[in-house]
Structure 1
Amino acid sequence: MTSTTSHQDRPGWLLPTLSGYRREWLVADVVGGLSAGAVVIPQAMAYATIANLPVQIGLYTCIIPMLVYALLGGSRAMSVSTTSTIATLTATTLVTAGVAASAEDPDQALGSLVTLTLLVGLLLLLARIFKLGSLVENISAATVLGIKIGVGATVAVGQLPKLLGETGDVSGDGFIRSLLAVGDAFGSANAATIALSVGSIVVLVVLQRFAPRVPGTLIVVAGGILLAAFTGLTSAGVALIDPVPSGFPTLRLPDLAHLADLVPGALAIAVMAFLESAAVARGIRKATEPQVDSNQELFATGAANVVGAFFTTMPSAGGFSQSAVNQSAGAKTQVSTLVTVALAVLVSLFLGPVLSLLPQATLAAMVFVAVAGLINIPELVRWARISPRDFWIALVVALIGLSVGLLAAVAVGVVVTLVLVLRELNIPKLDVVGRRGSAIGIHLGRGLYTANALENERAIVAIATTQPEPVTAVVLDVERLDIVTITILDALEDLDRELSQLGIALHMAKLPDTARVVARRTSWYAELEHDGRAHDSVEDGLTAASA
């Protein structure tokens, strides 16, 4: 069967997953899109409540960002909306900035939400411009696990008051305050609400465990609406969500009054949005599909957030649950996402009055079950047995998230990761690769830069002075020095001087042409070449040094 889409008819960055599209994929894409929609639409509405935002904000997040990612994203089956981690960080950011929505005025935070989502998108696009995709992915799995445990515990506890009959959401206030709110909620617990909450949780857990292909979220939403419509649920004290307006999201401009206060949270959300999207994209990629381009994902996710911001959406990222459903239903390309978007548009246009009958406890149960899976204690225990360092990083990050706050946990996690990466890079990796007479060859296993130049200098001197037999010449293999700076050249000159004081001559071999052009501008390297101590190979250097 021939393809229905010509890749030459459009730019390479537009609709990349439709390259070579086949007509026989259409049915699978439609089924996948409908299946994903049954999960992501009610789930996104539930996640909006974490930040005390109107449920339609979650619904809008299933339209604009998903549409933009479908046009630009490289993952064939990933579904992009909001996630529990992103929703929680959004709530925390709004609370920290002092612009959180209240139950009395849920619209008061929407201008700042536009600003926050726009900041997240701009930061992701900035990371794309500087090609930081691989750098962001260096954030350790231990850090991500710790953040997710902190998020899961904070949100799960924050949902308990709603499961008991309270109407406010306290997830954005942190773990400690959420615990205190649970204690207060016990005094006014509503029996009917508790029964509905327990029933919803049982249905979700049972279906998740024994029938994962069945959209449990859709079933509990439909069940909650039917109970509210045809029984005396509301008269028994069960609270419903605020009325959901019908219609398409309208344009809204950002409110810049709290811009500076939103920046730290935007940074944390941008990091987590990319990490989650990259993890999902790689996790669901089939061996026959193209490799995921980190920088392409930065561009697609960033653009999805920038465009979505002006339609009052929450920050967006790839979600594993809906993406897995999408793929398991047979989705072949992002056409499935376009189907999900169409379904979300129909819901927003025509089902507002029906959605308004949804009990708050039903949404809280959906959030509770979703985030409980983030508290991965078995994985933490496994790491304690295999890698104590990763265990302690994850545990410390989680404890910081629970005690100080989730934004602080993300910041500490990023800093810890960078420290560990720098520590690893700063450890000299040197190997003796040959000896001829009193001359030895040393291979520089890592490139030199400002932070590790001194450590490598000391290590080279130590190797040269601790050999079983005296050494009079060191041939340094520097083939990894594609780029040299003044700092590196000064360090090499200092190494030459120190070895010379010990009666050892420094020779250099295999310096790349790009680096040699720069090095020749210094009098030290020009003298090195003049003295015949610059060579094309280590063997040539050993021969010359031992002559």
Structure 2
Amino acid sequence: MKTWLIPTMHGYQRSWLRGDVLAGLATGTVVIPQAMAYATIAGMPPSVGLYTCLLPMAAYALLGGARALSVSTTSTIAVLVASSLAGLPGRDPGELLGAAFTLTFMVGLCLLVMRLARLGALVESISPATMTGIRIGVGLTVLVSQLPALLGLSADPEADGFVEELVAVARGLTDLSVVTALVGLGAIAVLVLLRRLAPAIPGPLVVVAAGIALVAFSGVEDRGLALIDPVPTGLPALSLPVAGDVVDLLPGAVAIALMSFLETVLVARTNRRRREPPIDVDRELVATGIAAMAGGLTQSLPPAGGFSQSAVNLRAGARTQLSGLVTACLALLVALALAPLLADLPSTILAAMVLIAVAGLLDPRELATYAAIDKTELGVAVIVALVGLTGGMLLGVGVGVGLTLVLVIRAVNRPKVRLVDRPDLVGPDELLLLLTGDLYTGNAQVTHDTALRLAQAAEPEPRTVVLDLAALNRVTIPLLQTLRSLRDDLACDGTEMVLLDVPAEVLTVLRRSTWFAAAEQDGFVRHAR
């Protein structure tokens, strides 16, 4: 029987408590400023990222089954949110915020519908190449979008998409703010050095504290250093879904739900210890769905499991989702008491954290592996990335899912028959064919045509075609139709057809067909020698 509430704490051991608490605190120092930075990617105030570390994180901790997973939001989700909201022109900032929270709520509903329809395993079949293409597209999109904040440039509100934003950045370099660029690049240097030389030290917390101190004690903002939007003190207000935005936001909600689920399950499996229970995709759909619905009601972005924050959680010793509850409590403390300190945080610091966080998405080794192993997968990754960069990441996700379905259909629709050289099983004037799998509507005709072509091309012309059914597991109507049609077509050429080594359970079902029962009486079935 499944334990639905706080399943990761079932059988809790007191020795785990210290690790969970310390991991929750360590993860909070990374994920809270990182989530605030991701909110800026989506065009939202940093406070929206902070709120994503409250109720959504707590909801997942109470319902999710991945022990070391840390759930807030990710760069991929933030980019998709921005793409979804871009399709709502003419909205003032308040209306866009309402639409964003409606989108988060709808993502939760989509995840729950996927659970009810048992689509978890189907969604997981999206190819790794598609995910690689999405990561590359998201990484480059985020990189370009953060350059104005990093370098102190004026963002071009008319620039739409990767190419236009890149051109706008190149044109605006003459107006670069030296102070802003030095602070941002310095933050990047500190983050990189700490990650390599002292990974136990929370780099995001260090640069945030340093940035706040710089502003508080130097007055450097008077020299052009921009600060983030103020983070209000207190809890987020209730945000009800806007019914009028549902139709316009539905495509984005579906795409974000797919990515949220895929990222969450992938990170959960990557961080699962060997002796921990396997990841239950149905549970993850429910937990992430409820977390998203809770976030939609409390001014949050759609939640998902994050790679970097979950890695910190795991390294710090998290054994259960108690660590997630500790992180949520730390975020609550920030919202209630520490928010005024964030008023002195430079925007370039958030941009620096985002760029370091998404650097892992741009790994050319993945493309090199595809090029060496499967150029078709390489093509999928490149196409998805290019479509995402030129047409938007929502379109990129759609194209990626479509290409995955094409590849799957192409793979399963291949002929399930091949020529076998086994003189010990057949006579000198017989041709042995092996049926390598089950037949259904998609592959029955191509299997029939391939078997007929092999028989007609054989030299010398066989007197009998022997079809080995040892690998068959299931009887279908297309199977029966293929056997009957193939037998009749071979008979027209003067060639007999018999079946070899039919599994007993398959033979029992085949005999329910009047045609097969009569054919068996005529010697249609032969047992192996």
| Letter paired with 1:285 | R
| Letter paired with 1:142 | A
Q: Quick one: structure 1 residues 532 and 335, their matched pair in 2 at CA, closer, same or farther if it must change by over 3 Å?
A: farther
Equivalent position SS for 1:37: helix
Q: Quick one: structure 1 residues 187 and 475, their matched pair in 2 at CA, closer, same or farther if it must change by over 3 Å?
A: closer
Equivalent position SS for 1:474: strand
Counterpart of 1:77?
68
State how far apart, in whole Å, the 2-side matches of 1:169 and 1:300 are: 39
Q: Does 1:223 align with 2:210?
A: yes
State how far apart, in whole Å, the 2-side matches of 1:172 and 1:340 are: 37
Counterpart of 1:39?
30
Residue among 330, 351, 364 paired with 1:377: 364
Counterpart of 1:51?
42
Equivalent position SS for 1:265: helix
State how far apart, in whole Å, the 1-side matches of 2:223 and 2:464 are: 92
Conservation of the 8 A alpha-carbon contact between 1:482 and 1:512: no
Counterpart of 1:141?
128
- Once the two structures are superposed, residues 153-202 of structure 1 have per-residue CA deviations (whole angstroms, 9 ceiling, x without a partner) of 11111111112224658799320121133134324322221221121111
Q: Does 1:94 align with 2:85?
A: yes
Q: CA deviation at 1:278?
A: 1.8
Counterpart of 2:449?
458
Counterpart of 1:541?
527
State how far apart, in whole Å, the 2-side matches of 1:515 and 1:405 are: 53
Q: CA deviation at 1:389?
A: 2.8
State how far apart, in whole Å, the 2-side matches of 1:182 and 1:95 are: 20
Conservation of the 8 A alpha-carbon contact between 1:479 and 1:509: no
| Letter paired with 1:92 | S
Q: Which moved more, 1:423-432 or 1:407-416?
A: 423-432
Q: Which moved more, 1:169-178 or 1:408-417?
A: 169-178
Residue among 322, 329, 332 paired with 2:316: 329
Residue among 464, 478, 492 paired with 1:472: 464
Q: CA deviation at 1:96?
A: 2.5
Q: Does 1:396 align with 2:383?
A: yes
Conservation of the 8 A alpha-carbon contact between 1:93 and 1:262: yes
Identical columns (%)? 48
Q: Quick one: structure 1 residues 304 and 447, their matched pair in 2 at CA, closer, same or farther if it must change by over 3 Å?
A: farther
Counterpart of 1:17?
8
Q: Quick one: structure 1 residues 219 and 334, their matched pair in 2 at CA, closer, same or farther if it must change by over 3 Å?
A: same
Residue among 326, 339, 348 paired with 2:326: 339
Q: Quick one: structure 1 residues 89 and 464, their matched pair in 2 at CA, closer, same or farther if it must change by over 3 Å?
A: same
Q: Quick one: structure 1 residues 42 and 171, their matched pair in 2 at CA, closer, same or farther if it must change by over 3 Å?
A: farther
Q: TM-score, structure 2 length as denominator?
A: 0.91
State how far apart, in whole Å, the 2-side matches of 1:25 and 1:328 are: 14
Q: CA deviation at 1:281?
A: 1.2
Q: Quick one: structure 1 residues 388 and 73, their matched pair in 2 at CA, closer, same or farther if it must change by over 3 Å?
A: same
Counterpart of 2:276?
289
Q: CA deviation at 1:531?
A: 4.5
Equivalent position SS for 2:425: strand
Q: CA deviation at 1:128?
A: 2.0
Q: Quick one: structure 1 residues 505 and 112, their matched pair in 2 at CA, closer, same or farther if it must change by over 3 Å?
A: same
Q: How does 1:121-200 map to 2 (within 5 A)?
A: 121-166=108-153, 168=155, 173-200=160-187
State how far apart, in whole Å, the 1-side matches of 2:280 and 2:366 are: 28
Residue among 507, 525, 539 paired with 2:499: 507
| Letter paired with 1:91 | A
Q: CA deviation at 1:273?
A: 1.5
Q: CA deviation at 1:13?
A: 2.7
Q: TM-score, structure 1 length as denominator?
A: 0.88
Q: Does 1:436 align with 2:423?
A: no
- Once the two structures are superposed, residues 356-387 of structure 1 have per-residue CA deviations (whole angstroms, 9 ceiling, x without a partner) of 22111111111122123312124323433443
Equivalent position SS for 2:466: strand
Q: CA deviation at 1:479?
A: 5.3
State how far apart, in whole Å, the 1-side matches of 2:301 and 2:527 are: 61
- Once the two structures are superposed, residues 98-135 of structure 1 have per-residue CA deviations (whole angstroms, 9 ceiling, x without a partner) of 377xxxx5432122112212222222222222332222
- RMSD, matched Cα: 2.6
Equivalent position SS for 2:5: coil
| Letter paired with 2:499 | H
Conservation of the 8 A alpha-carbon contact between 2:470 and 2:501: yes
Q: Quick one: structure 1 residues 374 and 172, their matched pair in 2 at CA, closer, same or farther if it must change by over 3 Å?
A: farther
Q: Does 1:254 align with 2:247?
A: no
Q: Does 1:26 align with 2:26?
A: no
Equivalent position SS for 2:403: helix
Conservation of the 8 A alpha-carbon contact between 1:119 and 1:263: yes
Q: Does 1:266 align with 2:253?
A: yes
Equivalent position SS for 1:343: helix
Counterpart of 1:494?
485
Counterpart of 1:312?
299
Size of the aligned set, in residue pairs, is 523
Equivalent position SS for 1:435: coil
Q: Does 1:448 align with 2:439?
A: yes
Counterpart of 1:482?
474
Q: Quick one: structure 1 residues 326 and 393, their matched pair in 2 at CA, closer, same or farther if it must change by over 3 Å?
A: same
- Once the two structures are superposed, residues 303-338 of structure 1 have per-residue CA deviations (whole angstroms, 9 ceiling, x without a partner) of 221222222211111101000000000111111111
Q: Quick one: structure 1 residues 171 and 528, their matched pair in 2 at CA, closer, same or farther if it must change by over 3 Å?
A: farther
State how far apart, in whole Å, the 1-side matches of 2:520 and 2:481 are: 16
Q: CA deviation at 1:410?
A: 1.4
Counterpart of 1:114?
101
| Letter paired with 1:281 | A
Conservation of the 8 A alpha-carbon contact between 1:159 and 1:171: no
Equivalent position SS for 1:25: helix
* Structure 2 spans left out of the alignment, 5+ residues: none
Q: CA deviation at 1:141?
A: 1.7
| Letter paired with 1:120 | V
Q: CA deviation at 1:294?
A: 2.5
Q: CA deviation at 1:68?
A: 1.7
Equivalent position SS for 1:109: helix
Counterpart of 2:353?
366
Q: CA deviation at 1:17?
A: 1.5
- Once the two structures are superposed, residues 248-273 of structure 1 have per-residue CA deviations (whole angstroms, 9 ceiling, x without a partner) of 22321111323222222222222222
Conservation of the 8 A alpha-carbon contact between 1:112 and 1:255: yes
Equivalent position SS for 2:446: helix
| Letter paired with 1:251 | L
Q: CA deviation at 1:395?
A: 1.9
Q: CA deviation at 1:442?
A: 4.1
State how far apart, in whole Å, the 1-side matches of 2:103 and 2:507 are: 43
Residue among 412, 419, 425 paired with 1:425: 412
- Once the two structures are superposed, residues 407-446 of structure 1 have per-residue CA deviations (whole angstroms, 9 ceiling, x without a partner) of 2221121111211122111222435477333566644222
* Stretches of 4+ aligned residues off by more than 6 angstroms: 169-172
State how far apart, in whole Å, the 2-side matches of 1:481 and 1:99 are: 58
Equivalent position SS for 2:305: strand
